Chain A
Amino acid sequence: MVHMKAGTLAVVASLLASGSAFAEQRVLTYYADYDPNPLAAMEALIADFEAANPDIDVQLNNFDHEGYKTAIRNFLTTDAPDLANWYAGNRMAPFVEAGQFMDVSDVWEANGLGESLASAKASMTIDGKQWGVPYTYYQWGIYFNKDVYAQVGAEVPTTWDQFIANCEKFKAAGIDCLTTGTSALWPGAGIFDYMSLRTNGYEFHMDLTAGKIAWTDQKVRDVFAQWAKLVEPGYITANHAAIDWQDAAALLVQGKAANYVMGNFAVATFKEGGMTNDNLGFMPFPEITPGIPRAEDAPTDTIHIPSGAQNVEDAKLFLAYVASADAQTKLNAALGQLPTNKDSTVAADDPFISAGFELLSTSYALAQFFDRDAPAEMAKIGMEGFQQFMVQPGELENILTRLEEARQRIYQ
């Protein structure tokens, strides 16, 4: 499972770079789960870091992305590296509570990260301390097919009522107003997040995912009542429960669907399907309750120091480097995602990246995503409930009762 190649490459690179100084080098081990493209980007960052700190040798061990989620549970105890990848929000809570991640509040303080990483600070904080450093995130929103909008004569909506009104036009033309593919469950959670954030606002949504609010609360019912405006008239792609998100993306590309609530990573898929900047559009999710401060979903990827790390000092140096504006600018340009440091810059020639940077840096607050904000178990039951609601809206009462029972058990 472990690919040693990256590590070996780093060793060879450092050998070439430092020559005789090799013997004095301090080793910094880093376990990560990058796909090929991000891996190249991170290797470039590591090369820069090593050039700036010739006495440190970063050895990157890259794992398979899915396998990593299981592997980290073992290696943190048995063979802790100095640095490890993970995710922000409630996803890191089990490791923080088990004492597996190190408190890095001092890195935040010493480098003024509370200021420059302000938008991601809340999601890195548990018990008032920071437990890692974010290096990238991306925006969620609605991607739409401009050709289809032109075909039925619809305007890009800014309010929920306009959005619903457009749906009627799409329905009449035999086009799915909103497409999604929930066979892996999580795409449905993206829709829920936005319904909830736009209906009741950020604080209520975070309280809900933190288990402080009953799922049978009237304000939660309001969320589903708004959502029902899409579900009951059949504006959402039928059979979405058996469709992968990529297959739903194909529907948008083919003009069989108009809108798709998705993360920015989907742009690559739309473009592979033949869409271009000319006919692929992006808009923030429209306003539902007027006057609520606009919050967005922005899942954040992070780097942590395990408690069992050998070389803590250099690991903190590396975190500070990853958090810096220049490093994040370069890394995210290669990743095709957004830097979390507000002083970084993004490529102006990619309309989706610049729209996302604008969207997130002006937003009131950022949610991580339902399956990172809520504990894993609640996330699973919740996402099944959302999927069921979009198939059987009449079962809402049962779904909410089930979620409420789960909440009382999970957060006790």
Chain B
Amino acid sequence: MAVTSSHGSTRTWWQQNQQTLTPWLFLIPGMFMFAVYVVWPILSSFWISFYDWNGLRAPDGSSTAEWVGLGNYAELIGDDAFETSLKNNILWLVLYMLAVPFGLFIAIFLNQTVWGIRMYKSLFFFPFVISQVVVGLIFSWFYAPNFGLLYLLTEWLTGTGTAILADPNKVTYGIIAAGLWPQTAYCMILYLTGLNNVSPDQVEAARLDGAKGFKMLWYVILPQLRPATFIAVVVTVIGALRSFDLVSIMTTGGPFGSSRVLSFYMYEQALSEYGFRMGYGAAIAVVLFLIMMVFISGFIWKMVRDEKEGY
């Protein structure tokens, strides 16, 4: 013991603590970025949400913000536009989930060896590759009154054309449908890679036991696709909560605000031409953040649990 301790005293401080310090050293750049670009903006959003501020500073550089405490949150409660946005966000969350079964269906349909299947797969994947803005434009032309394909089709069928984006009761469904197009493709590709890893032995064994059709899918294939399903649900939930681009491109929240979602309402209040209510926008951002946190903590909790159980 004496030898080791005397030997230890000749080791420098760095040598003694190398093992514990190294991982932190590697983490520092990442943690720095995370703190500056993620944690700090979140905290400052919380902070700004307690102020009434139009984003302007006086010539001497002092802020024109005024402390209102929870005033912005109190206003949110009675705000019809906020209620509409919240409702639409829920609608998005629920209906956007359809992308998961749709994606699974297409993936199973495409998971076969036919000549040229790779080309079909890439064609189905295509909508995910093009930008959301382009998707939004294509669909707004598709829905456009007077010259859009859907309008002309409904006019031909029923005599009066339906302008989805002009109808406050249909507009959100119209936008979600546009969003489902690329999202389905995304889920499909996740399931296609998942299907590659389905063990042929188990399928063979199940077949010998007489399983087929829906039972085969439900009891044999789907359990093996659990990791793919998990990821598909995660990206779809986050995609639904982030649904900004399509709303902005297709309707800018209209007609009269009926297709707003929280992220768009936040942008409108804080940064758009008629906005610059930084505090109120920040309050909406905080609410959206808390909603997202419910899901994100759920996902993290599940991942940690799975890791412990050794999935």
Contacts and interface: CB of A to CB of B under 8 A. Distances in A.
A, B assembled together = yes
Interface of A: 69-70, 73, 76-77, 80, 94-95, 98-100, 182-185, 238-243, 247, 251, 307-308, 371, 376-377, 379-380, 384-385, 387-388, 391-392, 402, 409
Interface in B36-65: 54-59, 61, 64
B145 A387 contact: no
Contacts, number: 98
B88 interface: no
Given A100-B56, A371-B274, A380-B274, A251 B146 contact: yes
Nearest to A98: B56
Contact of A94 (B56, B145, B161, B168): B56
Given A69-B273, A73-B276, A377-B277, A308 B256 contact: no
Contacts of A380: 268, 274-275
B100 to A, nearest CB: 30
Given A241-B166, A376-B273, A99 B59 contact: yes
A380 B268 CA distance: 10
Interface residues of B, number: 33
Contacts of B165: 183, 241-242
9 closest A-B pairs by beta carbon, nearest first, are: A241-B255, A242-B166, A380-B274, A239-B145, A239-B163, A239-B166, A388-B256, A242-B165, A384-B256
A402 B146 contact: no
A29 B274 CA distance: 28
22 contacts: A73-B56, A94-B56, A95-B56, A98-B57, A98-B64, A100-B59, A183-B165, A183-B255, A239-B145, A241-B165, A241-B254, A242-B144, A242-B164, A242-B254, A307-B59, A377-B274, A377-B277, A380-B274, A387-B256, A388-B256, A391-B166, A391-B255
Contacts of A239: 145-146, 161, 163, 166
A391 B274 contact: no
A391 B59 contact: no
Contacts of B257: 384
A307 B146 CA distance: 50
B251 interface: yes
B255 A242 contact: yes
B146 A98 contact: no
Given A100-B59, A307-B59, A242 B143 contact: yes
Nearest to A376: B274
B254 A183 contact: yes
A391 B56 contact: no
B309 interface: no
Contacts of A379: 274
A70 B271 contact: yes
A344 B144 CA distance: 44
B265 to A, nearest CB: 11
Interface string B146-186: 10000000000000010111101000000000000000000
